Chains A and B, each alone.
Chain A
Amino acid sequence: MASKVLHAIFTDDDILMHAVKALREKKYSIDEVFCPFPVHGLDKAMGLPGTRLAITSFLYGLVGLAVSTWMMNFIMIEDWPQDIGGKPSFSYLQNMPAFVPIMFEMTVFFAAHLMVITFYLRSKLWPFKKAENPDVRTTDDKFLMEVSVNENNVQAIAEVLYENGASEIKLIDNK
């Protein structure tokens, strides 16, 4: 038997937040909320765990720093030490002041790009990806909440949603 979900549409972010809190108070879990803009505090109200993208960015930055250090050490010190104006490149440490700008730029480059790529992959976003929002109005001005239901609790959940200002409630077969 296919599982079913309730789709409740809300017309305002404040109403949505009240409904989310009301559902969570009654220990119902919310599958998904689709919003046209970031609603502050929604993730906490829904009980979503925090994202660790910032941590990955820091780690990617360290990778960038390491790559730039290795690259410049190999190029300028080991492989082909250039003698520029009578100032040969003997050691990385001696040359480091000149390397700082590139170390900085590559740290930022790696941290930014790899974090964004991680974000796209984790959120499953890429150029030919088909959008998955069930109602096109959710990118305009409506908010859609998706809640899994079973025969026993469907009416109770629908009532909570109704009492908390859902303007439309539909029962949908979950694909």
Chain B
Amino acid sequence: MSHYESPIRKPLVTGDKSYHDVTLDVVRPVEGKANKSWWVVFSIALIAFLWGLGCIVYTVSEGIGTWGLNKTIGWAWDITNFVWWVGIGHAGTLISAVLLLFRQKWRMAINRSAEAMTIFSVIQAGLFPIIHMGRPWLAYWVLPIPNQFGSLWVNFNSPLLWDVFAISTYLSVSLVFWWTGLLPDFAMIRDRAVKPFQKRIYGILSFGWSGRAKDWQRFEEVSLVLAGLATPLVLSVHTIVSFDFATSVIPGWHTTIFPPYFVAGAVFSGFAMVNTLLIIMRKVSNLENYITIQHIELMNIVIMITGSIVGVAYITELFMAWYSGVEYEQYAFLNRATGPYWWAYMLMMTCNVVSPQFMWFPKLRRSIMFSFFISIVVNIGMWFERFVIIVTSLHRDYMPSAWTMFSPTFVEIGIFVGTIGFFFVLFLLYARTFPVIAQAEVKSILKTSGEKYKKIRAEKGEDANLYDMPEQQPLPNFTEQFNSKSNS
């Protein structure tokens, strides 16, 4: 039974869509052939990925001396990229989990892709600490297992180890959340598949999902509990990432505002990336009826709010630096704004604080092109935020004799571009093989939030029947059938 929804709420599914139409629209990109633009974008992404892979192989074989790091700046692009990618991964779980707990129906058309984005971006993030180790073949040393030197263990007092646990928990929980949600949609493709190979593959992927009432009851419970578990996880992961910095004694890093500031920044950049991807995807996959202007507008509002929180955090940092009376802290912030990296600081401020403020204007936040532009600007700004925090704090610390500058080598640039390529390769493959919209969930809100049903209610009142009785065949004599079948 459909719940009451205020008629002034805008429809979340436009067009006169029936349940079957949703199936057809979702399955079209999977069953159809890839178009030319998909191949063009995929080829570019693949080239970038292969280039990055080459740079990773070069780094691993030659050592991280191939990067532009020096004794003073030991963390530069790698950790910038790591924090940036983890941040991007936040919107996915936020959309799936937090908005599920808040019963926000608008999440349903975008949660699948946002979750996919989370997983793909956390994979990119995970690459950086591993290749930064210098000897990545010993990466298993971060696991709490006794090693060959005797009973030497990992150090649980280290925020870097907390990161290992936080990121791996986040990745694996996001993965099962995503996969469990996919089962009914894989089952839908399986049941429609005509080619035996396709039927077999989606049969395996769907785990034999049959859609029993009991399965759905458990499915909903699992989704809700996973959302409840993932919500604090969203907050914890970037909080712990911020501890990498906040528990140190570098001026500009050891500030108590870091955990909420990092979380807000992560949600901010994550939503920007969701907007970037979905604005393209709705067009390429003809999903304008599901990912509507309303969805984009709501995401823009989240971007505006989190962008403002990030702005407040920047100002708080400046205030605290001044108010602390610590000259090192004061210098660190003065140097950020007016030192040799002033341009990065200004870029960060402009992209992250100024640009989201345009979203106060309804006309701008409902404009597809403008939203797309701002989403790119925000992602650039957030990358520079991480760069500013890391490099400007390190390049002039307590010892002026150690002061230095950093500039990346082609290897670092290559790896970063490579991860962007890898991310898009994964996302493009996903968009061709997976149901990109959680169709089962969209069907469940169709009657409350679909345009077709909203129209019926507007015309015939809230109590109107939202269904047509089917044409029925005359009822056969089942008692006869029962007996004849039993005898046969």
Contact = CB atoms under 8 A, between A and B. Distances in A.
B191 A136 contact: yes
Contact of B482 (A11, A72, A154): A154
Given A57-B229, A154-B478, A171 B221 contact: no
A151 interface: yes
Which of B154, B218, B465, B466 lies at the interface centre, i.e. has the most chain A CB atoms within 10 A of its CB?
B218
Given A165-B469, A167-B470, A133 B236 contact: no
Contact of B478 (A34, A108, A155): A155
B222 A53 contact: yes
A79 B151 contact: yes
A48 B217 CA distance: 9
B220 interface: yes
Nearest to B208: A129
B214 interface: yes
B441 interface: yes
Contact of A106 (B165, B441, B482): B165
A131 B176 contact: no
B178 to A, nearest CB: 11
Contact of A32 (B187, B205, B212, B473): B212
Contacts of B162: 101-102, 105
Interface in B80-112: none
Contacts of B2: 14
A90 interface: no
A153 to B, nearest CB: 9
B218 A166 contact: no
Interface in A3-24: 4, 6, 11-15, 17
Interface string A145-162: 000011100110011001
A112 B173 contact: yes
B340 interface: no
A91 interface: no
Contact of B211 (A102, A115, A139): A139
A34 B229 contact: no
A171 B157 CA distance: 66
A22 B478 CA distance: 19
A108 B192 contact: no
B430 interface: no
Contact of A34 (B159, B192, B212, B224): B212
Contacts of B439: 37
Given A12-B467, A154-B482, A116 B176 contact: yes
Nearest to B467: A12
B214 A101 contact: no
By size class, the interface of chain B is 35 or more
Contact of A131 (B210, B219, B479): B210
B486 interface: yes
B485 A43 contact: no
Interface string B135-167: 000000000100000011111110101100110
A120 B155 CA distance: 35
Given A125-B208, A140-B192, A171-B481, A119 B180 contact: yes
A42 B216 contact: yes
Nearest to B226: A112
B204 A140 contact: no
B441 A101 contact: no
Contacts of A113: 172-173, 176
B157 A131 contact: no
29 contacts: A12-B466, A14-B2, A14-B447, A15-B469, A37-B439, A38-B440, A40-B3, A41-B1, A75-B144, A76-B153, A84-B155, A98-B157, A105-B233, A108-B173, A112-B172, A125-B207, A125-B209, A127-B205, A137-B191, A139-B191, A140-B19, A140-B23, A141-B18, A151-B479, A155-B477, A158-B475, A162-B475, A167-B470, A169-B476
Given A125-B183, A140-B188, 19 more contacts: A14-B465, A14-B467, A33-B213, A37-B439, A40-B1, A51-B217, A53-B218, A101-B159, A108-B169, A108-B236, A116-B222, A116-B226, A120-B207, A122-B218, A126-B208, A127-B207, A141-B23, A154-B481, A165-B470
